[in-house]
Chains A and B, each alone.
Chain A
Amino acid sequence: MTPPELRDLVADALALWEVPEGPPRRVAVIEGGVALEGFGLRVLPAAAEDLPIRWWIERPGQRRPCTSVTGLLRGLRNAVGAGEGEARRLRVAGS
Chain B
Amino acid sequence: MIPVSVVTGFLGAGKTTLLRRVLADPAWADSAVIVNEFGEVPLDHELLAASEEVLVNVSTGCLCCVVRTDLTATLMDLARRRASGELPAYRRVLIETSGLADPAPILHALMTDAAVAETHRLCAVVTLVDALHGAAALDRHPEARRQAMLADRILVTKPDLGDAAALGAVLAGINPDAPLRAAAHGAVEPGWLFAPGSPIPLPGPEARHSAGLGSIVIEREAPVPALALTLWMQALAEHCGARLLRLKGLVALAEEPARPMVVHAIQHVVHPPDWLERWPGGDRRTRIVLIGQGIPRHFPVRLLAAIEAEVAGSLR
Q: Is there contact, CB below 8 Å, between A12 and B112?
A: no
Alpha-carbon gap, A16 to B294, bound state (A): 7
Is A59 an interface position by the 8 A CB rule? no
Alpha-carbon gap, A73 to B235, bound state (A): 9
Task: Write out the residue numbers on chain B whose beta carbons fall within 8 Å of the beta carbon of A93.
Answer: 111-112, 117, 269-272
Of all chain A residues, the one with the shortest Cβ separation from B113 is A94
**CB proximity of B66 to chain A, nearest CB, Å:** 22
Q: Is there contact, CB below 8 Å, between B268 and A95?
A: no
Contact of A87 among B114, B239, B271 (CB under 8 A): B239
Q: Is there contact, CB below 8 Å, between A15 and B296?
A: yes
User: Considering the complex, which residues of chain A in the window 56-95 have a beta carbon less than 8 Å from any beta carbon of chain B?
Assistant: 68-70, 73-74, 77, 85-95
Check A16/B239 contact, CB under 8 A, given A8-B302, A54-B310, A91-B270: yes
Q: Is there contact, CB below 8 Å, between B298 and A12?
A: yes
Contact of B231 among A70, A87, A91 (CB under 8 A): A70
Alpha-carbon gap, A6 to B111, bound state (A): 35
Q: Is there contact, CB below 8 Å, between A69 and B310?
A: yes
Contact of A91 among B112, B118, B294, B307 (CB under 8 A): B112
Task: Write out the residue numbers on chain B whose beta carbons fall within 8 Å of the beta carbon of A39.
Answer: none
Of all chain B residues, the one with the shortest Cβ separation from A6 is B306
Q: Is there contact, CB below 8 Å, between B268 and A16?
A: no
Is B241 an interface position by the 8 A CB rule? yes
SS of B interface (majority): helix
What sequence of 0s and 1s flags, for each residue 282-303 of chain B, a beta carbon within 8 Å of any chain A beta carbon? 0000000000001110110011
Q: Is there contact, CB below 8 Å, between A69 and B307?
A: yes
User: Considering the complex, which residues of chain B in the window 226-247 have a beta carbon less than 8 Å from any beta carbon of chain A?
Assistant: 230-231, 233-235, 237-243
**CB proximity of A7 to chain B, nearest CB, Å:** 10
Contact of A90 among B234, B239, B296, B310 (CB under 8 A): B234
Check A12/B113 contact, CB under 8 A, given A69-B310, A70-B234: no
Check A13/B239 contact, CB under 8 A, given A91-B270, A92-B270, A93-B111: yes
Q: Is there contact, CB below 8 Å, between B296 and A12?
A: yes
Task: Write out the residue numbers on chain B whose beta carbons fall within 8 Å of the beta carbon of A77.
Answer: 239
Alpha-carbon gap, A68 to B307, bound state (A): 8
Q: Is there contact, CB below 8 Å, between B306 and A5?
A: yes
Q: Is there contact, CB below 8 Å, between A70 and B305?
A: no
14 extra A-B contacts, CB within 8 A, seeds A12-B298, A69-B306: A1-B309, A8-B298, A8-B302, A9-B302, A12-B299, A16-B239, A69-B310, A70-B235, A85-B241, A86-B242, A89-B238, A92-B272, A93-B269, A94-B112
Question: CB within 8 Å of B: which residues of A?
Answer: 1, 5-6, 8-9, 12-13, 15-17, 54, 68-70, 73-74, 77, 85-95
Task: Offer 28 A-B interface pairs, CB within 8 angstroms, sorted by A.
Answer: A1-B309, A5-B302, A5-B305, A5-B306, A6-B306, A9-B299, A9-B302, A12-B296, A12-B299, A13-B239, A15-B296, A16-B296, A16-B299, A68-B231, A70-B231, A70-B235, A74-B238, A85-B239, A87-B237, A88-B237, A89-B268, A90-B233, A90-B234, A90-B270, A91-B112, A91-B269, A92-B271, A94-B272
